[in-house]
Structure 1
Amino acid sequence: MEYRKLGKTDLELSAITYGAFAIGGNMWGGNEKRDSIDSVKASIDNGVTTLDTAPFYGFGLSEEMIGAAIQGYDRTKIQLLTKFGLVWDGSNQGKGEFFFDAEEAGKTIPVYKYSSKTSVIHEVENSLKRLRTDYIDLLQIHWPDSTTPISETMEALDLLLQQGKIRAAGVSNYSVDQVSEARKNLNIASNQVGYSMLNRGIEQDLVPYAKENDLGIIVYSPMERGLLTGKYFNTGKLKESDHRNGYFQQFDLAKVKTFLDTISPIATNKGVTLSQLVLRWTSLQPAITVVLAGARNAEQAIANAQAIDITLTVEELSFIDLALAKI
């Protein structure tokens, strides 16, 4: 495994980081709890020391499973990354900016973006309990909240840093302008954003900014929620409750399939899967600190960890880029 320094912090994160969105269950058609916990343990056992979660993932379930899975491991050798700012419980519901209606167990649950100082501190206390820890390595705002001044949210993060409840502060889904505004108040370590072979918008603005300002970039959805594994084109069937039924429609699926067919010989020749090839390509892109990869079971987790061992030549990277240009 490769370990990379996050921004100007002393955090060393695993280049492949465990992304815990799917194990929360909501929006993904569900998952077996035992398989989820096993996937976390398998990740740690194979060098993936960094785990990224959020209260919203499963409405607390993902954090709870991460907390259960790390019991018995040396906490100082594991980096817990979580978030705040998406609220749904009774105390905060209706405050902030309405985001969307989530479905859970047949019920509609309104979710709001809300990051007031009081709310942030309240959320962190709950996260610490669910994660069974007394500190969080990196705390990130999940989505920008238009109803709360960025300075107020940063004030909450600064207080948590002083209290030792978090080791570093970051943002997620922030524009470059929002990152700049946040950094006027607090030297945030990172920005977590969506990035993949099919979604390279950050290369135009965030990547140059990160290079110039020593900002870490944590990327999610490198596999475009499974589309770039190629499995969708083989089976094409997802559970009715799976949000990807709609998500995949934003892409030209015929061109995506042609692209995957074009680069698959590289994976075959190296004895790896398309998923592993895509993860490794993503980890090698400029200014990318770590890549989040989800896993529903131990087998997938081990495969994700092994992706970092793939060697890609300059010629192979150029071939992939040429193929990408045709999508």
Structure 2
Amino acid sequence: MVNKVQLGKSELFVNPIGLGANAVGGHNLYPNLDEEIGKDLVRTSIDNGMNFIDTAFSYGPERSEELIAEVLKESGKRHDVIIGTKIAQKFVDGQTVIDNSPAFLRSEVEKSLKRLQTDYIDLLYIHYPDEATPKDEAIGTLKQLKDEGKIRAIGVSNFSTEQLKEANKDGYVDVVQGEYNLLSRSAESTYFPYTVENNISFIPYFPLASGLLTGKYTTKSTFNDFRTRLPYFQEEVFAKNLAKVEQVRNIAHQKGVDVSHVVLAWYLNQEAVTAIIPGAKNPEQVLNNLKTLDVQLSNDDILAIDTLFKA
């Protein structure tokens, strides 16, 4: 039986291992996605107790939400699943524009509800901050939607610490999603002190650094997608990062698990991190991610990994 964790001050309780669903219909992010495999990712997740699915308008765009809705409808398990989705983008003359205005947020929530074939969204994030809208005004709109029963919890993603503080002026923010992994640790000094103090859950994205922290890559690996733009995949640091991963492999080997299990378990030992949402490209990876819950790290393990990736 999985011990579920509470998201911030909300009434939502989730398996601490969720599904990052950007490969479910995220045709704009990954080439040659198979939608049936994407639906199988969702089926495998909910059939195995993974009740937390993270998606967004921008995955597809729109298609990820639609595919998740199809699976939940066929399964009859909508009320057993916590859906987190994100809005903020619109397309103007072929360009992506970020909008946090109250009217836009209300309109996009209605569209998301239709795509998800549901009458409520469990966790609604503002995906990116815009430059014009006061953040407490934007969150105030989400609080109204929460009071109306259309959303159950409020989140922000990609907000700076100062923007987060403005957004949470009235204490309405339940969850912050931001980049955090062993290769990108600035959140420890920027977000974590504030989120812990204010009972806001922090959920990392890119927890496995787009696969680099899984131990499956070598110095001969090549990439033809968005990973080519990520700093930890650049040639001068890629080999150094792989060498660190190999040291984690030693710990994983001693425990009879994979590198990714150790890495994900390390995050769950950080006070600020409530849950993690690793992605998956096939159902086997979903099941593999769940094995993280069986990993027990000693204080020495936690310190060794911390020291290794601070070097």
* TM superposition score normalised by structure 2: 0.93
Taking the aligned partners of 1:234 and 1:308, their CA distance within structure 2 comes to 30
Deviations 1:42-97 (A, max 9, x none): 11122210011000011101111111122224222210100110112xxxx26xxx
Q: Which residue of 291, 295, 306 corresponds with 1:310?
A: 295
The 8 Å contact of residues 2 and 308 in structure 1, kept in 2 or not, is answered as no
- Partner residue of 2:279? 294
Q: 2:82 aligns with which of 79, 83, 92?
A: 79
8 Å contact 2:219–2:242 — kept in the other structure?
no
Report the residue type matching 2:228 in the other structure. Answer: N
Partners of 1:281 and 1:299 in 2: CA distance = 22
Q: 1:244 is matched with which residue: 227, 238, 252? A: 227
1:233-275 per-residue CA deviation (whole Å, 9 max, x = no partner) reads 165133x3x1112222287112111101111021122222112
Aligned to 1:205: 190
* Separation in 1, partners of 2:140, 2:256: 49
Aligned counterpart, 2:11: 10
The one-letter amino acid paired with 2:86 is K
CA contact (8 A) 1:9 1:168 kept: yes
Matches within 5 A, 1:116-195: 116-185=101-170, 187-195=172-180
1:151 offset after TM fit, Å?
A: 3.1
1:161-206 superposed Cα distances (whole Å, 9 cap, x missing partner): 1210001111111122212211224511111111000111111131
* Matching residue of 1:55: 57
Rounded Cα–Cα distance in structure 2 between residues aligned with 1:170 and 1:2:
22
Q: Quote the RMSD (CA, aligned, Å).
A: 1.7
Listed as ranges, the gaps of 5+ residues in structure 2 are: none
- The residue identity in structure 2 corresponding to 1:265 is N
Q: Secondary structure at the match of 1:171?
A: strand
Q: Give 3-state SS (helix, strand or coil) of 1:292's partner.
A: coil
1:101-112 pair list within 5 angstroms: 109-112=94-97
2:209 maps to what in 1?
A: 224
Q: 1:27 maps to which residue?
A: 29
Greater RCO (CA < 8 Å, at least 6 residues apart):
1
TM-score relative to the length of structure 1: 0.89
Shift of 1:149: 2.0
Q: Match of 1:61, as an amino acid?
A: R
Match of 1:65 among 54, 67, 77: 67
Q: Distance in 1 between matches of 2:221 and 2:238?
A: 11
Shift in CA distance, 254/139, structure 1 to aligned 2, threshold 3 Å = same
Question: Is 1:275–2:260 an aligned residue pair?
Answer: yes
Point out 4+ residue stretches in structure 1 off by more than 4 angstroms.
none
Unaligned runs of 5+ in 1: 95-108
Q: Which has the higher strand share?
A: 1
Determine the C-alpha separation between the residues in 2 that align with 1:282 and 1:175.
21
Cα distance change, pair 235–272 in 1 and its aligned pair in 2 (3 A): farther
Aligned residue pairs: how many? Answer: 306
SS in 2 for 1:231: coil
Cα distance in 1 for partners of 2:264, 2:123 equals: 22
* Residue in 1 that maps onto 2:44: 42
Letter in 2 for 1:261: E
> Do the aligned partners of 2:143 and 2:172 also contact (CA within 8 Å) in 1?
no
